[in-house]
Amino acid sequence: MDLNDTLQMLRRELEELNWTIAKLEKLSQSPTPKRRRGRKSMGDEERLVVSARIRRYWADRRQAQMT
C-alpha cells in the first residue's frame, strides 16, 4: 500500500469525523424544547371529583338565588 494512498484515506476519514463532530456540537447547542402549555389531561377519578364539585357549586348557587 502506498503512503500517499494511506494519507489520502486518513484525510477523508478526518473530514468525515470533523463533519460528524460539527453536527453533534450543533445538536448539543440547540435549545431544549419548551414545555407544552395548556391544560393537563385528567384521569377518570379526578374528572369525577371535579364534576361532583361543580355540581355542588351550581346547586348552592341555585339555592342561594331561591332564598
Q: What pLDDT is attached to residue 66?
A: 86
Task: Write out pLDDT tens, residues 44-67.
Answer: 999 999 999 999 999 999 999 987
Q: Which amino acid is at 7?
A: L
What gap in Å lies between CA 14 and CA 30, rounded to an integer? Answer: 24
What gap in Å lies between CA 64 and CA 48, rounded to an integer? Answer: 24
Task: Write out pLDDT tens, residues 3-47.
Answer: 999 999 999 999 999 999 999 998 888 776 777 788 788 999 999
Q: What pLDDT is attached to residue 1?
A: 67
Residue 50 contacts by C-beta under 8 Å, 6 or more apart in sequence? 42
